[in-house]
Structure formats: C-alpha cells, structure tokens
Amino acid sequence: MTTLLVGFDSAWTSTNSGALVGVIHFDDGTFHGLGAPQIVNYREAEGLILKWQAEQVPTATIVLLDQPTIVKNATGQRPVENIVGSPVSRRHGGMQPANTARQKMFGKKAPVWPFLTRFGGPADPLEPVAGTRVFETYPVLAMIALGCMLPDSRATGRLPKYNPQRKKTFSTSDWQHICKKASGAFHKRGLMDIVRWINAVQNTSPRKSDQDGLDACLCLLVALCLAERKDCLMVGDRQTGYIVVPYGAGLRAELDARCNQTGRVPSEWVRVFKMDSSRLIGNCPTTLNFAS
C-alpha cells in the first residue's frame, strides 16, 4: 500500500501561480521523492496530481493545501481564524480573513472550488482516508507547531520574516533559518531532491516563486507527519472551516486558552488526532469517481 503525499501552496486566484511538491510514502515507512517543487496554477496543479496518480497508482492521495477549503461566511473571519489568529499575532504575525465577499479567492467562480470538486471536496480529517483527500493547512501555524520560531523579547519568540515581496521586513537570515529547518526535516527522510532544491535557494536572493516552493514544502511536512502517524491538530470544524497542522503541546495550550477566552469549548474546536495506516482505504485512481 502506497500513499501519494502532496504539499500545495495554492495560487489563491485564477491569475496567480503557487507551487506543488509531492512524495510517495511506502508501507515500510520509506519515502520516494517526485522532484523539486514546481510552480503551478490551479489547473496545472490538478494535472500534475492526476499525472502522479496515473504513474504511481497510489492506494490513497493526501493533499495539504494552503488555502481555506470551507468558506461559508459572507463577511468577517471564520471561527478557526479567530482562534488561530491569537498565537499568530502573539508572534508578530497576521492572518487574513476568509469570506465569500473576497470574490477572486472565495466567490462562486474562485479556482479553489473546481479543484476541490475534482478531488472529492474538503475532507474530514477525523474520517478514514479513501481515494484523494484534500485538507487545509497553514504554513505559519505549522512553523509554530514545529518550533521554528526565532528569539524575541516575547517568550513565544517571533515568526520568521521570509517573504521577499515585503522588502521592508524581509530578512535574509530568517529566510535561511526556515530553509535550514525544512532541509533538515527532508534530509532526515532521505528526500534528497527536495533537500537539494532548498539548499540551492537558501543562499540566494529569493524570488516570490522560491517562497511559494518553500511554503509548498512546509505543507508537505504536515502531510509527512500525517503519514508517519504522528499526533496532529485539527483546529476548527467541518461546518465553518478547519486547519490541520502537526501537534505542538505549547500551541495546543494557547489554542485551548483562546477558546476559553472566546466562550468556546476547547474540545469542540481543537482536536488531537492521528492518521492510522489502518484507516487508509484502497481506492486506486482508476476507480475514483471524480466530479467533472
């Protein structure tokens, strides 16, 4: 039994591009890389995933997507963003609200919806994995969970400033810090194509496409944690939207505290789960009933 794992730093709108990277996870716990991150728009991402499925014939496919997959609110922010925004802002970061008024990203014609329809819609992390499943993740929250913060006057540390488009705040040392963290995680798993790509961009003046590729790698790290049956966190719910990231004890405590602060029951909004291999149900690509 094999699982195709995909990290997709999405394009968000029809006119933009993001990045996609994938690996195969085998029964014995080993991985096989499918190359370096590739710059793609939504249509190209769909085509590349289908190509990998046809070539590799995985038992199941797990896609970790950096874009909201459930957006039903017309204005404001989703409950999950209200919860997650607290630990993010505590580390000098910010989180954009998702709502359907943002037409290009979440309106009826936004490219994320046909992509999700093609691959079975937003999946429930607490249900068995069958065929292709797409889960929302958030690289910033994943970095907090994985302990990638930098020293700061605040005890929580601070988020790296590694977006090259934000020239006033971009830090070369912060960029290299995240590259080193990600490279080490992939090196540990023998995924040398990805390691070589990260090492190549680590000591250069990065472009936005390089950051997209690095964020796709961070999304993939969440997928690796799932495949390795490590504890993960599901923040939010299937009705209003959720985010999946690796488990972090400190992060969970902060999220629980935020729930209490906002009148929510923590156990209903922050769940620890593990993707047991016995929950992977065999559906090869040739038998998947994709929507048109």
Alpha helices in the chain (DSSP H): 42-56, 79-90, 103-106, 112-118, 139-145, 172-188, 192-202, 208-227, 249-261, 266-269
Question: Which tens digit of pLDDT belongs to each residue from 162-171?
Answer: 999 999 999 9
Q: What is the dihedral of CA 77, 79, 82, 83, to 10 degrees?
A: -160
Q: 188: which 2 tokens?
A: 């540990």
pLDDT class of 135 with cuts at 50, 70, 90: very high
Q: What is the pLDDT of residue 291?
A: 28
Q: How do residues 230-247 score in pLDDT, each as one tens digit? A: 999 999 999 999 999 999
State yes or no: pLDDT of 82 exceeds 70: yes
Rounded distance between C-alpha atoms, residue 104 and residue 107, angstroms: 6
Average pLDDT over all residues of the chain = 93
Per-residue pLDDT, 282: 47
**Model pLDDT, residue 78:** 98
Answer whether residue 284 shows pLDDT above 70: no
pTM of the full structure: 0.94
3-state secondary structure 49-69: HHHHHHHHCCCEEEEEECCCC
Instruction: Report how far residue 276's alpha carbon sits from residue 144's, in angstroms, rounded to the nearest whole number.
Output: 24
| pLDDT cut 70: percent of the chain above it | 94
Token pair 């209003």 is at which residue?
A: 240
Cα 219 to the center of its chain, rounded Å: 3
Helix (DSSP H) and strand (DSSP E) numbers for the chain: 10, 10
Q: Residue 29 corresponds to which tokens in the numbers above?
A: 């716990």
Sign (positive or negative) of CA dihedral 44, 46, 48, 54: negative
Instruction: Report yes or no: 179 and 113 within 8 Å, Cβ to Cβ.
Output: no
Using the predicted structure, report yes or no on whether residue 275 has a pLDDT greater than 50.
yes
Q: Which residue has the higher pLDDT, 129 or 228?
A: 228
State the number of CA atoms in the 13 A half-sphere of 200 facing the CB: 11
Q: What is the per-residue pLDDT for 292? A: 23
Does 290 have pLDDT greater than 60? no
| Structure token pair of residue 19 | 């990045």
Mean per-residue pLDDT for 50-61? 97
Q: Give domain limits for the chain.
A: 3-287
Residue 137 has pLDDT above 50, yes or no: yes
